[in-house]
Amino acid sequence: MAYGGNRRDNRRDEAPPEFSEKVVSLNRVSKTVKGGRIFKFSALCVVGDGKGRVGYGLGKAGEVSEAIRKGIEDAKKNVVTVTIAGSTIPHEVTGKFGAGTVLLKPAPAGTGVIAGGAVRAVVEAAGISDIRTKCLRSNNPQNVVAATMVGLRSLRDAAQVAKIRGKSADDIRAS
């Protein structure tokens, strides 16, 4: 062993985090009881590996740090793989969840991420670097994140569509 440090330092260096974690919204709710108010916190979190895998989760607890930890754990349980074409998405799609509707449009390289806070967190965690988005109807972060995930899950590239239809990818592109 060339390095004279302890084992704990070595373990920390060789295990980089698999997912990037982001807190999208933090909400404080209160309940009034006989003795006063009781405050609780809910945290909406997004995790992603930047290579097409992304998930979101909601954590609730009496302390902020505990709510965030629970939200990240929940997000890691709900990770899905999305279809990405280079640095953007293969086609335009609209995702709907509850009252939230999100329009996702592909953009040429160099455009960047044109999105609001909740959509931006999901898209960047998924590894999409060129996209245009618009939130329609609701701006509630929970519905917007869920609608974005519905839209990203419904993306298909030419090869996937061809497999479903029993044709070749070139036939799909030609039509």
Q: How many angstroms separate the CA atoms of 89 and 34, rounded?
A: 53
Number of folded domains that form the chain: 2
Alpha-helical runs (H) found in 15-107? 64-77
- Other C-beta atoms within 10 Å of 68: how many? 19
Q: How many angstroms separate the CA atoms of 134 and 162, rounded?
A: 29
Q: Give the pLDDT score at 1.
A: 47
Q: Give the pLDDT score at 161.
A: 81
Q: What is the pLDDT of residues 122-148, one digit of tens each?
A: 999 999 999 999 999 999 999 999 999
Tokens of 27: 């909400």
In the predicted model, is pLDDT for residue 106 greater than 60?
yes
Residue 158 belongs to some domain of the structure: yes
Q: In this structure, are 13 and 71 located in the same domain? A: yes
Do residues 105 and 123 make contact, with C-beta atoms less than 8 angstroms apart?
no
Q: Identify the domain boundary among 55, 77, 99.
A: 77
Q: What is the mean pLDDT of the chain?
A: 89
- The percentage of residues in the chain with a pLDDT greater than 90, rounded to a whole number, is 77
How sure is the predictor about 97, in pLDDT bands with cuts at 50, 70 and 90?
very high
Q: In this structure, are 11 and 30 located in the same domain? A: yes
Domain around 52: 7-77
Q: In this structure, are 104 and 170 located in the same domain? A: yes
- Other C-beta atoms within 10 Å of 62: how many? 10
Do residues 58 and 71 make contact, with C-beta atoms less than 8 angstroms apart?
yes
Query: Residue 119: which CATH number?
Result: 3.30.230.10
Q: Which residue reads 């030609």 in tokens? A: 174
Q: Give the pLDDT score at 165.
A: 85
How sure is the predictor about 12, in pLDDT bands with cuts at 50, 70 and 90?
very low
Beta carbons within 8 Å of 83's beta carbon, 6+ residues apart: 52, 89, 90, 155, 156, 157, 160
Q: Identify the domain boundary among 19, 51, 77.
A: 77
Q: In this structure, are 54 and 125 located in the same domain? A: no
How sure is the predictor about 162, in pLDDT bands with cuts at 50, 70 and 90?
confident
- Other C-beta atoms within 10 Å of 154: how many? 14
Residue 2 belongs to some domain of the structure: no
In the predicted model, is pLDDT for residue 3 greater than 90?
no
Residue 125 belongs to some domain of the structure: yes
Q: In this structure, are 110 and 166 located in the same domain? A: yes
Q: What is the pLDDT of residues 39-83, one digit of tens each?
A: 999 999 999 999 999 999 999 999 999 999 999 999 999 999 999
Q: In this structure, are 102 and 166 located in the same domain? A: yes
